[in-house]
Structure 1
């Protein structure tokens, strides 16, 4: 079988001309001294991913530079908007977008191959309700989204940072919840999912304790996987190994 050509790429290089593709460091990381929940890594971009980025980034992509507040109505044609933080290669995101075309999905990640893959899936599927944001979700939430702008937030399988000394890097922390709550309209749902048991326990603890959210599960625990969250290949492999996936659905008060 013929292999798909790949091109080496890393976040410190300028692969695309300004406006034609994701910038390597859109907000200038030297201005951000806080501990980050993600770690950019060297990546390899296939020819098809690069083609999708060049074709669709000018219309469906945006860099998180922290310079202005986004007009979500203009970006999504007045649709309600859900923010997805970390989408991997984008297969699940594309499935959710296809199943619910009346909802806009603002999908954030720093992984260039995944950005290209999602744009390719959206292009081939005619999914005009997907926008891909490149950069730090915290800067997006803090600087580029208006209060009560979001109808939902999804955080699926974030990096668990399993070593105890790295737990401070986990995304789902009280400070993050306070920020994200200000950007969600009342009644909007924050949906988290993880297959890492200790992280699931931490998520449940901090979400339950936060005054801005209430658990949608009647028993105060984990929720069944909702039908709208697709079962991904990664998740299926974990289930085959005996891993248990925990879903948490908390409503903004």
Structure 2
């Protein structure tokens, strides 16, 4: 891989020259390559009708197949949403259960989801239409991007009200733990984004990942554990049902950004 110094050059799961990740292999980005697949007809129809209103076209580092947002790009929420409002960022919105429930319950908040699974976004669009007379929810936008990198550069620090990270891929095999999203770098990025008094809400059904979350986020001096109660706006998802049916315990964590 070659390129001018400071330029972006990607091949497979490697990135070279990015100001955050540098010239090193990114095994964890296997969770953040764009994933497609066939959608059910109802989801495809929702995508075809509503995606232009909801899914943002942002500049990418290596063309349309990349999920690395150009590090020089800064998203302007007021311009994107057409208003100024508290911003909630969901990392890995999946099929949109929490995203749609939260946006419908909090119409006075803006919701930005980062998700690379396009069929999941199609499902989310169908859910929005089902609760909003066939239309997209006006306070939701989606970016198809590697969240761990995008959150470092795409948003202004100190401007986010809440970050949601519900049931991130647990990568249960020990040799894959390095691919887990919640690590010191990501915790640092979230702490940078949150306004003082803002919250990071997490949930997992894997006890060892819950321990990692508590150890990693607990080591971030700008964040303090506020609650382990279930977040009332978080609906029961298929991931949670699978976990409880398998006998796994659900852990909720909420951290507040200190002054």
TM class by shorter-chain length? 0.7 to 0.9
Aligned to 2:85: 79
Alignment of 1:1-253 (within 5 A): 29-30=10-11, 32=15, 33-37=25-29, 38=31, 40=33, 41=35, 43-64=37-58, 65=60, 66-67=69-70, 68-76=73-81, 77-126=83-132, 127-217=137-227, 223-253=228-258
How far apart, in 1, do the equivalents of 2:256 and 2:197 lie?
Answer: 6
Deviates more, 1:92-101 or 1:194-203: 92-101
Instruction: Give the CA deviation at 1:201.
Output: 0.5
Contact 1:49 1:120 in 2 (8 A): yes
**How far, CA to CA, are the matches of 1:195 and 1:229 in structure 2?**
14
| Contact persistence 1:122–1:130 (CA under 8 A) | no
Distance in 2 between residues matched to 1:237 and 1:103, nearest whole Å: 30
Tell me, yes or no, if the aligned pair for 1:156 and 1:194 is still in contact at 8 Å: yes
Q: Secondary structure at the match of 1:44?
A: coil
User: Could you say if the C-alpha distance between residues 157 and 216 of structure 1 is closer, same or farther in structure 2, counting changes exceeding 3 Å?
Assistant: same
RMSD: 2.0
User: What does the per-residue CA deviation read over 1:47-86, in whole Å, with 9 as the maximum and x for residues that have no partner?
Assistant: 3222222222222111452342111112232121111011
TM-score, with length taken from structure 1: 0.81
Normalising by structure 2, report the TM-score. 0.79
Secondary structure in 2 matching 1:89: coil
C-alpha separation in 1, matches of 2:225 and 2:185:
18
Aligned residues: 222
Gaps of 5+ in 2: 1-7, 16-24, 61-68
Q: What secondary structure, in the 3-state scheme, does the structure 2 residue paired with 1:36 have?
A: helix
